[in-house]
Amino acid sequence: ADHVRTSIIADSGLPTFIDCKPELFKERNSFGRFSCVAMTPNANEYREMGGKWENEQVVGLPGIHELLVTCGKTGINLVYEDEKLEHAYIPALAQEVFNVTGAGDTVLAVYTWARCGGIPPLEATVLASVAAAEVVKKEKTEVVTRGELIEALEKYFESRS
């Protein structure tokens, strides 16, 4: 069933956003067959996939155009193609952390939503980081609501001006 799903996705030509586990990445060797836009491994998964850092910056993976490596309480490392290879580091925004369950899923979901809406990679990563900071404040595994995200974004931009 996994092989059939993989073939359907690969043959569709649709952009693919992946929360990939290292064993799947190693099995496929790369995602060149996919129209893979982005992948969001955490730091340990990235290392297991053979990912490397140079001068504290993430080095891309074959077949991945946008790579967000989530580094827990320290932030997100982003590498993406935009005329040339770009690197960015978004420090973690969470002030209070109660439950990290779902933070990585939130990063992938919000980043995907933002990119499909035409938001550039760097800004989409900031948006995803703001959303993840809201999710980890919750005592139980819950989603961030539209209102919470808007309020958090307003606070984020106020703090930057």
Alpha helices in the chain (DSSP H): 2-12, 22-28, 43-48, 103-116, 121-135, 146-160
Q: Is 45 exposed, middle or buried (0-12, 13-18, 19+ CB in 10 A)?
A: buried
Q: Using CA atoms, how far apart are residues 124 and 145, in angstroms rounded to an integer?
A: 17
139-to-98, 102, 142, 146 alpha-carbon distances in Å: 5, 12, 8, 18
105 catalytically annotated: yes
Please identify which of the residues 2, 11, 19, 105 carries the catalytic annotation: 105
Q: Which amino acid, 90?
A: I
| φ and ψ at residue 74, rounded to 5 degrees | -95, -30
Contact 40, 111 (CB under 8 A): yes
Catalytic residue list:
105
